[in-house]
Structure 1
Amino acid sequence: MQDPHRRVLVAADMESYSGRNNVLQYRAQIAFRQIMGDAAAQAGLDRIDWLIQQGGDGELAILPSGTSERTVVARLAPTVDRLLREHNQGLTATARIRLRLAVHQGLVHLDGANGFPSDAVVHVCRLIDSPQLKKALRAFPDANVALAVSDSLYHEVVEHYRDLRPEQFGEVRAEIPDKGFSATAWIYVPGENVRGAPPEPDMPTPTPTPTAGQTFSGITTHGPAQFGNHNEMRNSDG
């Protein structure tokens, strides 16, 4: 086993991929690869040297040694968002492509027999699959990208260099209970203020607290229509 290498990791995943028919999946895969390649080039990143583990609806990428974490965090998501905005013009909702991105860094073994053994790889893959990131993308239907960065990258890169406005990141606890995963992450949606966003429309509405007094249901009154001492009530069964 070779020594591990510290690398920047990028995971990408397409929203609602499995709901597309075969033709739309085929087209989406072509568009995904083209957009990721163009975005990397325009952000100043050399995708040719990325080690990529592909999936039909996304990918895991191990970036080359010496890659600027600042460049990846600050430029990749906004560039992908702009390219997707151009691509999605005039498309139906089922044909549109919207992506979740996650960025982390850590030690990675590059000589694994069936992938890349690494806690950092597991971490970025859990971030991309977290319900919290999926909800963030759903909360902004006009957005094209939702980005999650790990807690360490947020504090070391976003807060210090402010290429993206830190106050527009929302702190979440990314959790996948059945995988035993729970970690702080920071979510950013280009052009939106995640931290100031209202609750999701599909979030349950809190049950109102009953006011003091008596509550009656399933009853029929006979006589004066008022409740109080000496009034007679009978239920609807008689």
Structure 2
Amino acid sequence: MPGLGGRGEEGDDMQHPERRLLVCVDMERYSRRGNIQQYEAQQDFHRLLREAADEVGMDRVGWTTQQAGDGELAVLPRELPEARVIGRFLPELNRRLRQYNASRLSVARIRLRVAVHQGMVHLDGANGFPGQAVVLVSRLCDAAPVRRALAAFPDAGVALVVSADIYRDVVTEYPEEIRPERFRRIEVVHADKGFREPAWLCVLDEDVTLWRDESSPGAEATPPDAPPEPLAPGGTRRATEPPAGGGIRTGDIRVDGQNAVGPGAIAIGSIGRDAILRPGVDR
């Protein structure tokens, strides 16, 4: 057992951790495949990653990876620009996955959840990469909202989730590489592990901001930047609760001006903060 001096069983000095970009990738529905399908999926998974990286000038040979049957955890080289990973590599990977899946049955398709984070990581771990950054990026990749988002868009190749740090420092700062408005904020919760972290979700080449995650409980149900409720037929909005600071609650009516109510509308109750306006009916 390592002691406080950081020396392992064989007496080797623990190396200093390094701040690196981490990319965690997991295949959708891998365990549902038969043996031969799993074998082929692994082969094609690595080939598609390599081809996408080569296309945008990123040599996969320099990536330090921890492999799993259905994915990998990659520690990227320090010199690799983070904006290129998010803005060029992942869109190219998504494009190739869509092309690959177009001619295959759903059980043979390869669709990926990808999480990106950065932080301190030990590269000399005895059984993987020790570090809280590794734990976080793995939790993001396994998040229920990310799984549901990928399932909601059957033609998508990649559902991408990034940490709050990556969204702030990379996505919003380099909009020419990727569109920040295509991300939506989510809460990643693993209650059994005592884990709760904000993150940002994007399904590449899809508009996830319009997706309603109705299966999500509690904090995951509606992000702070959720789009407004859709309009009812005729351009009206559904009834809502009165504003906390006063005012009126409207029903299925169209309001075009400060005091406009709409043709035929009548007021029910007294005028004031508790007034409710409802559409009138022909008499």
Pairwise same-fold verdict (TM > 0.5): yes
Query: Aligned runs of 1:177-216 on 2, under 5 Å?
Result: 177-200=191-214
Matches within 5 A, 1:50-199: 50-162=63-175, 163-199=177-213
Q: What is the CA–CA distance in structure 1 between the aligned matches of 2:45 and 2:152, rounded to whole Å?
A: 22
Q: Report the Cα offset of residue 19 of structure 1.
A: 0.4
**Mapped partners of 1:71, 1:152: distance in 2:** 16
1:45 deviation in Å? 1.5
Cα distance in 2, alignment partners of residues 191 and 46 from structure 1: 25
User: Does the 8 Å contact 1:8/1:63 carry over to 2?
Assistant: yes
User: Given residue 199 of structure 2, which amino acid in structure 1 is its aligned partner?
Assistant: A
Cα distance in 2 between the residues matched to 1:148 and 1:44: 23
Q: Which amino acid aligns with 1:54?
A: Q
Instruction: Find the counterpart in structure 1 of residue 277 from structure 2.
Output: none
Q: Take 2:195 and 2:48, find their aligned partners in 1: how far apart are those partners?
A: 30
Secondary structure of 1:146's partner? strand
1:187 aligned partner, one-letter code: L
Which of 10, 20, 26 is residue 39 of structure 2 equivalent to?
26
Partner Cα separation in structure 2 for residue 125 and residue 80 of structure 1 = 20
Number of matched pairs: 203
Structure 1 runs (4+) greater than 6 angstroms displaced: none
Tell me the amino acid that sits aligned with residue 207 of structure 2: N
Structure 2 SS opposite 1:3 = coil
Asked if the contact 2:98/2:155 (under 8 Å) is kept, the reply is: no
2-structure distance, mates of 1:4, 1:203: 36
Contact 2:113 2:158 in 1 (8 A): yes
Q: Which has the higher contact order (CA 8 A, sep 6+)?
A: 1
C-alpha root-mean-square deviation of aligned residues, in Å? 1.4
Q: Percent identity?
A: 50
Matches of 2:156 and 2:127, distance apart in 1 = 35
TM-score, normalised to structure 1, is 0.82
Instruction: Tell me how far 1:40 sits from its aligned partner.
Output: 1.4
Gapped runs of 5+ residues in structure 2? 1-13, 218-283
Cα offsets for 1:186-234 (capped at 9, x unmatched): 111111111222345x679xxxxxxxxxxxxxxxxxxxxxxxxxxxxxx
Supply the AA of the counterpart residue of 1:195: T
1:43 Cα deviation after fit: 2.5
Q: How many Å separate the matches in 2 of 1:5 and 1:189?
A: 30
1:10 corresponds in structure 2 to 23
Distance in 1, matches of 2:18 and 2:216, equals: 42
1:226: which partner in 2?
A: none
Q: Distance in 1 between matches of 2:117 and 2:32?
A: 28
Instruction: Give the Cα–Cα distance (whole angstroms) in 1 for the partners of residues 122 and 212 of structure 2.
Output: 41
> Which amino acid in the other structure matches residue 139 of structure 2?
R
| Contact 1:132–1:175, Cα closer than 8 Å, also in 2 | no
| Residue ranges of structure 1 left out of the alignment (5+ in a row) | 205-238
- Using structure 2 for the length normalisation, give the TM-score: 0.69
CA pair 83-2 structure 1, distance change in 2 beyond 3 A: same
